[in-house]
């Protein structure tokens, strides 16, 4: 089971819901962590997807705070603790965000900890259809100690 994080900015929540419903059979089998409203929308989409498919398995979904209220930072902490395997973050490149620094920090941590990250539906489709998505996968971590031990 993968530990999947799902986040969507307001203008992309509909895209996230459609994507989650379409991929309900795949992603609902994993442990999901979502920020605020995205969690409610994803849960509803997965339940619709299950009904359409005629299947039912327990849904493992945790909702964090809304992004602007610290949800992005909570998710970043989970990445640092090694509790996120893949991040689906549909972020809006056209809309300024009041918590833009938190968004940037979350994306930085995803790159720093080598977390596979999808920022749009096409990339999300590629990730869930990858054979690696169905297997145990341990990302290689770069050793950043030389950055930490530098004197300025």
SS3 4: strand
pLDDT score at 55: 67
* Strand stretches in 26-139, DSSP E: 31-35, 60-64, 86-90, 117-118
Residue 72 annotated as catalytic? yes
Domains of the chain and CATH, by start: 3-148 (3.40.50.1380)
Of these residues, 10, 15, 25, 72, which one is catalytic? 72
Give tens-digit pLDDT for 27-48.
999 999 999 999 999 999 998 8
Average pLDDT, the chain: 90
What is the model's pLDDT at position 51?
78
Q: Is the pLDDT of residue 64 over 90?
A: yes
* pLDDT digits 0-9 by tens, 110-139: 999 999 999 999 999 999 999 999 999 888
Greater pLDDT, 149 or 83:
83
Q: Is the pLDDT of residue 144 over 90?
A: no
Task: Provide mean pLDDT across the span 57-79.
Answer: 91
Q: What is the pLDDT of residue 151?
A: 66
Q: Distance between CA atoms of 16 and 144, rounded to whole angstroms?
A: 33
Q: Report the share of the chain in percent with pLDDT over 90.
A: 66
């Amino acid at each position: 089971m993968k530990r999947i994080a799902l986040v969507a900015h307001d203008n992309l929540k509909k895209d996230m819901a459609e994507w989650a419903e379409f991929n309900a059979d795949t992603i609902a089998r994993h442990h999901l962590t979502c920020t605020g409203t995205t969690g409610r929308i994803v849960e509803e989409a997965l339940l619709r997807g299950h009904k359409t498919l005629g299947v039912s398995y327990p849904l493992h979904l945790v909702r964090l705070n809304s992004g602007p209220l610290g949800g992005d930072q909570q998710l970043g902490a989970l990445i640092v603790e090694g509790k996120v395997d893949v991040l689906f973050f549909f972020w809006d490149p056209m809309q300024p965000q009041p918590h833009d620094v938190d968004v940037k920090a979350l994306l930085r941590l995803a790159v720093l900890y080598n977390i596979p990250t999808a920022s749009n539906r096409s990339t999300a489709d590629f990730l869930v259809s990858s054979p690696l998505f169905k297997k145990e996968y341990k990302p290689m971590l770069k050793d950043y100690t030389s950055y930490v031990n530098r004197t300025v």
